[in-house]
Structure 1
């Protein structure tokens, strides 16, 4: 049996801002950007990993969510408390330079970590933390 990652989800509050960041700043390809059941289905992915997509979705894209649940998720996103993702790169310093020059909100400049990677961190336009790691 072979199991592989196909999709992961990142909560965003504005698809257009998210696309400008993930596509134009990070260089990910847009796989889908379509209307779907009253919502917008947007997926992006790395050209070097064509079988893996990141779904950019509203904080609580669930048909049975209550207004209180939606408000709670919106508040968590606004505070930057939802989980983000870790991207791997072969040159974390170049990634840092590219993203910071494009106006990315820096959380951590590149540094060597005791667990064997050199990494940096940013917030995306919705407030999610994104880490960029290079193996040492």
Structure 2
């Protein structure tokens, strides 16, 4: 028996801004865009891991009004779990992300005491995104 991770959901209150960040700044490739009751899901993946897809979805899509509002409030506060990526050239990726704009830089590329070099951002919706150098 095998088991593998296939999808990770990331909430985005502005799918177009999120798409610019994940596609244009980080370099992920769009796999699909699916309309759903006035909202849409956008799935993306890296060329190196096409089997693992990140699904951008609105916090109010497919939920009760109350649950959607709660998730939106948590997203706005930056309280939802983030994403961790690895790259072969952190400095080049950091420059590319900064040049695109639309993100809050939380930490410039830094050598950490636990042995990695990483940087941190908040995507346009407020999600934490950390990138470490492989």
Cα distance in structure 2, aligned partners of 1:76 and 1:120: 23
Alignment-derived partner of residue 81 in structure 2: 83
Is 1:28 the counterpart of 2:28 in the alignment?
A: yes
Give structure 1 stretches of 5+ with no counterpart. none
| Structure 1 residue corresponding to 2:95, chosen from 87, 90, 97 | 97
Cα distance in structure 1, aligned partners of 2:89 and 2:70: 37
Alignment-derived partner of residue 105 in structure 2: 106
Residues 118 and 130, structure 2, Cα contact 8 Å, conserved in 1: yes
Q: Between Structure 1 and Structure 2, how many residues are aligned? A: 133
Stretches of 4+ aligned residues off by more than 4 angstroms: none
TM-score using structure 2 length: 0.91
Cα deviation, residue 39, structure 1: 3.2
After superposition, the C-alpha distances for 1:37-79 in whole angstroms (9 at most, x for unaligned) are 55312101111111110000112444xx432222111111111
RMSD between superposed Cα atoms in Å: 1.5
Cα deviation, residue 95, structure 1: 1.1
TM-score using structure 1 length: 0.90
Alignment-derived partner of residue 7 in structure 1: 7
Cα distance in structure 2, aligned partners of 1:95 and 1:21: 12
